[in-house]
């Protein structure tokens, strides 16, 4: 209760009769206002009672109305779900919480079916009812689930059944998705199991709260207050991840700080693991290779040194004491100045295996990154990972996976798939995507990454003939189970990792639409063959509205959005033209980096005669790293898909494109088209005003305005620069850049977020 000073209390008592009269007079007016407010809320229909800020992500569970709500109530008349393990409790709680939100009331919990409409959840071990049904759950394996319409004791019911508790939690989220996306609940016969075993978020979060390439505020890990204060946000993070099947979280930046492995920080990581466990999420840590020196007092980190090996074994024992289900280490070694085995003339395999041996007795794994951007200057940076890793195939221990970025350079708006995929048949390969948009406009540009992810996963490596897609390499189906044993499940390890876009912003991801990139990453890690359009539609329905007049244009807009970014930033295979270091905005003129191969001019190679990086046989011959059918296609300037033209070839400005335009005219056309697309996105969004809550609508509208401004900037700066090189006129009808080149060159953003 509010504490009043004596003086204040006396004053309040003195004016009490007056206040009383006022209140009596005001009461009818207030009632009137209140009645009006209720009426307005009813009229507003979908408008939620409290402002939406995006915190609830796709788990909003706002009231459903109309016939479907009636039907859903009839299918959830009671909940029969065990609640003896933390995961069972999480599943039951999520169902009760969600059904209360969606349908107005929580269904009663029960133990037996005594009427139609029961929702029965569990495993054969946890639920006698599920055991009695003798469902065929053998094929769904670990983490999988069935959702089925059944008849129990003469009554219609729905079961969510699995072989383990986490499967029931995943099934519960899927069931809720059916309601959230307005699907019928009759005749259900769904069977799901994850295609990949490791579905990981990599946080590039530093111990001081900064996030490398983070655009959504600071790190959500409040290291200073951990382990004593467990922010409720940790549970919501775990719920959101479990709802899309993510089962691992690498807590700290790959540019790792050795202190993460000290007892102080292990206790904090253990506290997070304690929150995540019920949601099936294991904790992993990025390990600094030189930790034995920095925190172990040793003179070397040589992986073949017995003392070093002993140190890591001891460290692994210590970690597993604190976190019994610790997942393992992620390592960035000998890349961008990070320490690694090559500092001691050892190979990546020798480094990885040393750590793997330390973790093996505990069932842990090592995820060794192939993003090696070493100190020696390569003839073509795109070739480096392949050259270093292919000779090591077969040399990694069974609990090592090699993690490979989707493309050979660095998370560009478009890259051909990385040639390492399919080139190391004896080594499990984790596909690494970036969810945070380091090179795609940070948080303010609307760029749905589903099509980018899908493009990589569907790319054909030809590693074992036609149809050898990256998805099949990554899920191991291309090789069967014979090459490697899994420390976790006794079959080949498989995985996908996404560099997280999560921070302390209320909306988690920096923008409403960037949540969709987290969402689609999780769904594709579960099923790499899923359609990014279908996933976008689920997300829009859950996050905003089921109104078809909203869903269809928004999904269309999302599906076009990444291509728009490609157009206004890096059309036709151009890449890495972003400003130095922070990567915000265009700087194709930049030649100032410490090394030539860290500068945009290295990548576009524009001169008076032409533009593009010759990676064909006449150039760096990076095409030879692809399987022969692709090497031929990519290596032939007449056959290469135009979207990769300047990635693989240096061509003249008057090179004839399939449109009939010259290359230069085509570039100008595409830059301009990108800007036009953003204008259209703004117009589409404008037409949707009133269909969702005002707050989120307004933020998206404001961000789209920023995007248009910056798309124009990208177009104009790029055209101004390339025109200064080729001296060519603009094609007829295309506006010249708004400013001269030196204006763009002079722009400076020393405090752009996300610095490395």
Residue 266 in 3-state DSSP? Answer: helix
| Rounded Cα distance, 186 and 164, in Å | 25
Site for ligand GCV in 49-68 (CB under 6 A): none
The Cβ of residue 141 has, within 10 Å, a number of other Cβ atoms equal to 16
Q: Does 685 bind ligand GCV (CB under 6 A)?
A: no
310 binds ligand GCV, rule: CB under 6 A:
no
Q: Does 576 bind ligand GCV (CB under 6 A)?
A: no
Residue 204 CA, chain-centre distance (Å), reads 12
At which residue do the structure tokens 């024992």 appear?
317
Per CB under 6 A, does 410 bind ligand GCV? yes
C-beta of 168 vs 338, nearer to ligand GCV = 338
Q: Give kind and range of the element (H or E) at residue 560.
A: helix 548-569
Q: Of the two residues 438 and 538, which places its CB atom closer to ligand GCV in the complex?
A: 438
Judge contact between 513 and 183, C-beta under 8 A: no
> CB-wise, 179 or 287, nearer to ligand GCV?
287
Residue with smaller CB distance to ligand GCV, 410 or 693: 410
- Bridge partners (DSSP) of residue 145 are 162, 192
CB of 204 to ligand GCV, least distance (A): 5
- Of the candidates 52, 438, 563, 665, the residue annotated as catalytic is 438
Of 336, 387, 547, 581, the catalytic one is 336
Q: Catalytic site residue 336?
A: yes
Q: Which of 93, 128, 178, 212 binds ligand GCV (CB under 6 A)?
A: 212
- Does residue number 710 form part of the binding site for ligand GCV (CB under 6 A)? no
204 contributes a contact to ligand GCV by CB under 6 A: yes
Using rule CB under 6 A, residue 289 touches ligand GCV: no
Interaction residues for ligand GCV, span 231-260 (CB under 6 A): 254-255
Strand partners, 284: 250, 328
CA distance 368 to 392: 12
Question: In angstroms, how far is CA 468 from the centroid of its own chain?
Answer: 24
Q: Contacts for 518-522 with beta carbons within 8 Å, 24 or more apart?
A: 518/240, 518/244, 518/435, 519/57, 519/58, 519/244, 520/448, 520/449, 520/450, 520/453, 521/244, 521/433, 521/435, 521/449, 521/453, 521/496, 522/199, 522/241, 522/243, 522/244, 522/245, 522/246, 522/498
Output DSSP code: residue 492: -
Cβ closest to ligand GCV, residue 438 vs residue 514: 438
If one asks whether residue 348 binds ligand GCV (CB under 6 A), the answer comes out as: no
The reply on whether position 173 binds ligand GCV by CB under 6 A is no
Of the candidates 276, 566, 608, which has an alpha carbon nearest to the alpha carbon of residue 416? 566
> Residue 50 contacts by C-beta under 8 Å, 6 or more apart in sequence?
none
The minimum distance between CB 598 and ligand GCV, in angstroms, equals 9
As measured in angstroms, the least distance from the Cβ of 254 to ligand GCV is 5
Nearer to ligand GCV, 212 or 222 (CB): 212
The answer to whether residue 756 forms part of the interface with ligand GCV (CB under 6 A) is: yes
To 5 degrees, how large is the angle CA 499–CA 61–CA 234? 40
Using rule CB under 6 A, residue 640 touches ligand GCV: no
Active site residue 438: yes
Q: Among residues 57, 200, 61, which one has the least CA distance to residue 509?
A: 57
Residues in region 438-457 near ligand GCV by CB under 6 A = 438
* 8 A C-beta contact, residue 172 and residue 99: no
Q: Which of residues 422-441 bind ligand GCV (CB under 6 A)?
A: 438
CB nearer to ligand GCV: pick between 54 and 754 = 754
Q: Tell whether residue 332 is a contact of ligand GCV (CB under 6 A).
A: yes
213 lines the binding site for ligand GCV (CB under 6 A): yes
Q: Using CB under 6 A as the criterion, which residues of the chain lie in contact with ligand GCV when the complex forms?
A: 204, 212-213, 254-255, 332, 371, 410, 438, 756
Catalytic residues: 336, 410, 438
């Amino acid at each position: 209760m509010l504490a009043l000073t004596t003086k204040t209390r006396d004053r309040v008592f003195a004016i009490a009769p007056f206040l009383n009269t006022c209140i009596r007079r005001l009461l009818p007016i207030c009632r009137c206002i209140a009645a009006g407010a209720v009426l307005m809320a009813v009229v507003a229909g979908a408008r939620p009672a409290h402002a939406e800020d995006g915190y609830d992500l796709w788990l909003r569970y706002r009231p459903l109305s109309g016939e479907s709500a009636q039907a859903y109530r009839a299918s959830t008349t009671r909940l029969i779900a065990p609640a003896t393990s933390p995961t069972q409790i999480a599943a039951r709680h999520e169902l009760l919480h969600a059904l209360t939100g969606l349908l107005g009331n929580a269904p009663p919990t029960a133990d037996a079916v005594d009427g139609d409409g029961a929702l029965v959840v569990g495993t054969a071990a946890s639920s006698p009812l599920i055991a009695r049904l003798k469902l065929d759950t053998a094929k769904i394996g670990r983490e999988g689930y069935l959702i089925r319409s059944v008849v129990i004791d003469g009554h219609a019911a729905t079961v969510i059944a699995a072989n383990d508790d986490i499967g029931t939690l995943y099934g519960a989220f899927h069931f809720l998705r059916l309601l959230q996306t307005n699907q019928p609940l009759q005749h259900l016969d769904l069977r799901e199991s994850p295609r990949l075993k490791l579905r990981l978020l990599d946080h590039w979060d530093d111990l001081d709260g900064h996030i490398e390439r983070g655009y959504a505020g600071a790190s959500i890990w409040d290291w200073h207050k951990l382990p004593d204060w467990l922010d409720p946000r940790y549970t919501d993070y775990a719920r959101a991840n479990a709802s899309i099947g993510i089962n691992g979280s690498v807590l700290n930046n790959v540019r790792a700080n050795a202190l993460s492995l000290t007892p102080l920080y292990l206790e904090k990581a253990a506290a997070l693991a304690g929150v995540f466990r019920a949601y099936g999420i294991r904790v992993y840590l990025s390990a600094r290779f030189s930790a034995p020196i920095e925190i172990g007092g040793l003179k070397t980190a040589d992986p073949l040194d017995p003392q070093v090996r002993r140190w890591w074994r001891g460290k692994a024992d210590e970690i597993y004491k604190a976190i019994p289900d610790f997942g393992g280490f992620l390592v960035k070694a000998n890349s961008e100045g990070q320490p690694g085995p090559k500092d001691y003339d050892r190979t990546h395999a020798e480094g990885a295996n040393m750590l793997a041996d330390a973790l093996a007795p505990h069932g842990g794994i090592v995820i060794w990154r192939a993003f090696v951007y070493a100190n020696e200057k390569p003839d073509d940076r795109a070739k480096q990972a392949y050259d270093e890793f292919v000779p090591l195939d077969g040399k990694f221990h069974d609990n090592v996976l090699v993690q490979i970025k989707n493309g050979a350079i660095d998370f560009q708006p478009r890259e051909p798939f990385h040639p390492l995929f399919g080139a190391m048949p004896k080594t499990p390969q984790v596909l690494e995507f970036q969810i945070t948009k380091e090179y795609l406009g940070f948080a303010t540009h609307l760029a749905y990454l589903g099509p980018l992810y899908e493009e990589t996963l569907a790319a054909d490596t030809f590693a074992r003939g036609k149809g050898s897609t990256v998805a099949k390499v990554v899920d191991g189906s291309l090789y069967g189970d014979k090459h490697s044993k899994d420390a976790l499940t006794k079959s080949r390890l498989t995985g996908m990792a996404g560099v997280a876009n999560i921070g302390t912003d209320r909306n988690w991801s920096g923008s409403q639409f960037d949540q969709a990139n987290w969402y689609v990453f999780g769904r594709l890690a579960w099923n790499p063959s899923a359609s990014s359009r279908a996933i976008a539609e689920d997300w829009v329905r859950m996050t905003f509205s089921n109104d078809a007049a909203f869903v269809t244009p928004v999904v269309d807009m999302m599906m076009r959005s990444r291509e728009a970014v490609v157009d206004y930033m890096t059309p036709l295979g151009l890449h890495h033209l972003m400003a130095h270091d922070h990567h915000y905005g265009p700087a194709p003129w930049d030649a100032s980096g410490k090394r030539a191969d860290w500068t945009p001019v290295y990548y576009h190679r524009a001169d008076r005669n032409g533009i593009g990086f010759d990676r064909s046989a006449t150039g760096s011959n990076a095409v030879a790293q692809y399987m022969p059918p692709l090497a031929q296609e990519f290596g032939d300037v007449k056959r290469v898909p135009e979207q990769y033209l300047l990635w693989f070839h240096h061509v003249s400005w008057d090179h004839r494109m399939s449109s009939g335009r010259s290359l230069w005219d085509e570039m100008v056309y595409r830059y301009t088209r990108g800007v036009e697309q953003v204008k259209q996105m703004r117009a589409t969004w404008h037409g949707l005003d009133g269909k969702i809550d005002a707050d989120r609508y307004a933020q998206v509208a404001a961000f789209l305005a920023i995007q248009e401004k910056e798309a124009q900037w990208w177009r104009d700066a790029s055209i101004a620069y390339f025109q200064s090189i080729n001296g060519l006129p603009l094609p007829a009808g295309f506006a010249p850049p708004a400013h001269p080149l030196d204006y763009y060159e002079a722009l400076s953003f020393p405090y752009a977020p996300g610095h490395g």
